[in-house]
A and B are shown apart, each in its own frame.
Chain A
Amino acid sequence: EIVLTQSPGTLSLSPGERATLSCRASQSVRSSSLAWYQQKPGQAPRLLMYGASTRATGIPDRFSGSGSGTDFILTISRLEPEDFAVYYCQQYDFRPLTFGGGTRVEIK
């Protein structure tokens, strides 16, 4: 099973700042088979990104993803108030599909 480790656990930032979230895999994730999700309190996760860097439908371009192999990054260029949430990475290279433990982006 591929274990995904996200860091930091919590990111305290102000609106307008840049957020950089990390996701590290315990083994190489082939073909950038990595997705990112956003979850707000009381809501289901929402697909943000797949293929490490491809935005899902309707996702604004302030969200970008990068990385390959074992190290992946989600960047939010300028935080909007609605971006404060928990973010999860997920690998879909091997079954079982696994998620990282999440990074909370909170208002400083």
Chain B
Amino acid sequence: QVQLQESGPGLVKPSQTLSLTCTVSGGSISSGDYFWSWIRQPPGKGLEWIGYIYYSGSAYYGPSLKSRVSISVDTSRNQFSLNLYSVTAADTAVYYCAREVNVPVGNGDAFDIWGQGTMVTVSS
């Protein structure tokens, strides 16, 4: 059973970099069948997809954060990571890592496995 677990600081100062890691267990990140995504949810609000990475290192970012985000992968550790630069209070949210799977109906991917999420607060 594949599981995802986020880790990283729960508090980040404004203008600094938010860095999180997602560890994949129970399966290989290098299987090639999935994209590995980051999604965030501000307190009391909805979900925002940040971007994904493929095991090869190819990444794709959503437009709203594209100028401040990078996602990387470490296949030897079965992990992928998120860096969000120059954060502000608006970046305070629960950050989820999730597995994107190409579902058999439709044109793309849904998120079938999620980490439990980690709350990150941006504050001095």
Residues of A within 8 A of B (CB): 1, 30-35, 37, 43-47, 50-52, 54, 56, 88, 90, 92-93, 95-102
Contact = CB atoms under 8 A, between A and B. Distances in A.
**Interface residues of chain B: helix, strand, loop or mixed (majority):** loop
Interface of B: 46-49, 60, 62-64, 96, 98, 103-112, 114-117
Nearest to A51: B105
Q: Which 6 residue pairs spanning A and B have beta carbons closest together?
A: A51-B105, A33-B106, A44-B114, A92-B108, A96-B62, A35-B110
Nearest to B96: A44
A34 B48 CA distance: 16
30 contacts: A1-B63, A30-B106, A30-B107, A31-B106, A31-B107, A32-B105, A32-B106, A33-B107, A43-B116, A44-B96, A44-B114, A44-B116, A45-B47, A47-B112, A50-B106, A50-B110, A51-B105, A52-B105, A88-B46, A92-B107, A92-B108, A92-B109, A95-B62, A96-B49, A97-B109, A98-B49, A99-B47, A99-B48, A101-B46, A102-B46
Most buried by B among A46, A51, A93, A95: A95
Contacts of B116: 43-44
